[in-house]
């Protein structure tokens, strides 16, 4: 999924996918390092998570984020 989203974000150009590691393109939200990387990435951000939907903050569901 990360590869597909990365290609969509770059209009199908695979150079970004080949040159930037997965953990920089779509860092994991549940780690402190991942959270910091995600905050530093330019918008629109790609963020990965393995958290169950019940553990996401309620504010997330009222935001404009696409899931």
**What residues are annotated to the active site?**
50
Are 25 and 42 in contact by the 8 Å Cβ rule? The answer is no
| Residue ranges in 1-67 assigned as alpha helix (H) | 2-9, 15-19, 22-25, 32-40, 58-61
User: Residue 19 has which token pair?
Assistant: 């040159």
């Amino acid at each position: 999924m990360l590869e597909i989203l990365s290609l969509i974000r770059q209009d199908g150009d695979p150079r970004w996918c080949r040159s930037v590691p997965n953990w920089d393109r779509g860092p994991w939200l549940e780690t402190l390092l991942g959270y910091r990387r995600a905050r530093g990435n330019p918008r629109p951000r790609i963020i990965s998570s393995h958290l169950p939907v019940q553990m996401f903050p309620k504010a997330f569901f009222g935001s404009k984020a696409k899931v």
